[in-house]
Amino acid sequence: MSLPADPFVIVVSRRDVESCNTSDTLAVLRKWVETSSDPREVQGKLQLWFEGYDSDHRELWLIPRVRTFVKALDEQFPYWFVFADLGSEFLKVLVFCLCRVSSPRPGATAINPQDLATFFERHFGAMNQLLDHWSIGERENKEFSSKIIGYFEKAKILN
């Protein structure tokens, strides 16, 4: 997948993660969405970067404080399927942070199937709610859904 022409990158500081302070990130997200004159301006452009973890050998989703931060952020803003840049790894990090995971072998991460089903139900529901609010038609909604499914298939989260 190609990167959007103008991605919107939010850098989340390690300090905010460590203190589970989601307010700064939420404020930026909400302002970005609310100041858009056309919903299509913001669709598929969001990237979230976690600053200060480059030297940590663990994957972000294996760091308990990152998982806690992402869960807290997601409770207040579940609209990732609309906004996430599908050329980035953010949705992959999101699903691994929000679901129970295990490592069946080195370099592999398995997701609890019940958690994955709940994840998709919640996030497709939030996407549908937002697209309805924006009066986005069923055809475009199906296109969004197909792109999301394709993203997770490519990431080998869905078979």
CA separation (Å) from 66 to 2, 14, 74, 97? 27, 9, 12, 8
| Phi, psi of 9, rounded to the nearest 5 degrees | -105, 125
Tens-digit pLDDT profile for residues 54-112: 999 999 999 999 999 999 999 999 999 999 999 999 999 999 999 999 988 887 889 99
